Amino acid sequence: MKKIAITGSMGMLGQTLVKNLKGFELIPLTIENCDITQGCEVEKAFVQFRPDVVIHCAAMTAVDLCESKQFDAWKINAFGTINVARAANLIGAKLISISTDYVFDGALDRPYHEYDQPNGGINIYANSKWAAEQAVRSHCPNHLIARVSWLYGSHGPSFVHTMLRLADGTRTCLKVVNDQVGNPTSTKAVSDALQQILMHPELVGTVHLTCEGEASWYDFARKIFEIKKINQKVVPCTSDEYPTPAKRPKNSRLDKLVLRESGIHQMPHWEDALREFLLR
Ligand SMILES: NC(=O)c1ccc[n+]([C@@H]2O[C@H](COP(=O)([O-])OP(=O)(O)OC[C@H]3O[C@@H](n4cnc5c(N)ncnc54)[C@H](OP(=O)(O)O)[C@@H]3O)[C@@H](O)[C@H]2O)c1
């Protein structure tokens, strides 16, 4: 049976993968047994477990915190990924490295496909994740970089969790940003796609794994309350009205060109994935 190691297995995506991937021997790695910032530790774990594939989910994902803790962002996201890529290459494992829509600056007027050239993004988290992508390409030729976006899953934290917490009846209305557009994506949808992709070792390079359809955060919030039948007034606002330490791209939409052309799998529509998640 193929062995799959998962870094960051206690994170939101990691936990969904551990629960849902079937037909493989899974090796969940955590910061305790595989701190990715420690090259020797990563190498030791990979040499010990000898996975055929490494799914690299570990990262510093708090986008605003990355602005004030820049050193940690670079250390974990960029240098940590160099360690993972080197160790995967050393043992001959394929590396599936999870990346982000934020590697694009969001200025394009259509969804980004896999052959569009990212410029590294407009915040520190994005810059460090772009450096991580470059590290994977340089240090582990047998790789697949899988970009995901606007993630939510059982274990949170996520936008879905925040909206449900805020709609506790104490707020007459919620202001939600309406000038950033992207693909809300469940960790379950990513896991289902990876389940299929793992059967296709020939798929290498870069692939976008976000749900189909598009929404602003405002659309996303309204859909959450509609599905949950929660009577919460939501009003649209601009990013300027809701300033955050990290700038966010206006256009986060990802086109699934590679997935479509390969015929391996089709991502669900974001509204269907959200319904499945909220009514589970
Ligand atoms: N969440 C999103 O909306 C989103 C969007 C686009 C892309 N992504 C990407 O998707 C991947 C998974 O994200 P996620 O939402 O599941 O993130 P998450 O919930 O924050 O999980 C990341 C995991 O990495 C672990 N970690 C942090 N530093 C580590 C280290 N030095 N060594 C080993 N593990 C370490 C964290 O452990 P601790 O909790 O103990 O720190 C956590 O368990 C990441 O690559 C992220 O960049 C996420």
Mean pLDDT of the chain: 97
Residues 6+ apart with CB under 8 A from 125: 60, 61, 62, 63, 66, 67, 73, 77, 100, 102, 246
Which atom of ligand 1 lies at the shortest distance from residue 151's CA?
3
pTM of the model: 0.97
Which residues have a catalytic role annotated? 125
Cα 54 to averaged position of ligand 1 atoms, centre (Å): 15
Residues 6+ apart with CB under 8 A from 170: none
Interatomic CA distance for residues 233 and 220, integer angstroms: 13
When pLDDT is averaged across residues 88-108 and rounded to a whole number, the result is 98
Angle formed at CA 239 by CA 113 and CA 208, multiple of 5 degrees = 15
Q: Which of 6, 7, 9, 12 to mutate to test the pocket of ligand 1 (most atoms within 8 A of CB)?
A: 12
pLDDT at 155: 82
Ligand 1 binding pocket includes 268 (Cβ within 6 Å): no
pLDDT digits over 170-217, tens only?
999 999 999 999 999 999 999 999 999 999 999 999 999 999 999 999
Q: Which of 6, 17, 31, 159 to mutate to test the pocket of ligand 1 (most atoms within 8 A of CB)?
A: 31
When pLDDT is averaged across residues 233-242 and rounded to a whole number, the result is 95
Residues 6+ apart with CB under 8 A from 209: 146, 147, 148, 185, 189, 190, 193, 194, 256, 259, 267
Contact 48, 34 (CB under 8 A): no
pLDDT at 60: 98
Domains and CATH numbers, the chain: 3-155+184-213+253-268 (3.40.50.720)
Residue nearest to atom 21 of ligand 1 (CA): 11
Ligand 1 binding pocket includes 162 (Cβ within 6 Å): no
* Percent share of the chain, pLDDT over 70: 100
Cα 237 to averaged position of ligand 1 atoms, centre (Å): 29
pLDDT digits over 49-63, tens only?
999 999 999 999 999
> For strand 215-216 and strand 181-182, is the pairing parallel, antiparallel, or unpaired?
antiparallel
Ligand 1 binding pocket includes 31 (Cβ within 6 Å): yes
> CA 174 → CA 171, 215, 230, 237, distances in Å?
7, 17, 13, 10
Interatomic CA distance for residues 37 and 15, integer angstroms: 21
pLDDT at 276: 98
pLDDT at 246: 97
pLDDT at 178: 97
When pLDDT is averaged across residues 135-146 and rounded to a whole number, the result is 98
Whether the bond between 28 and the residue before it is cis, its omega within 30 degrees of 0, is: no
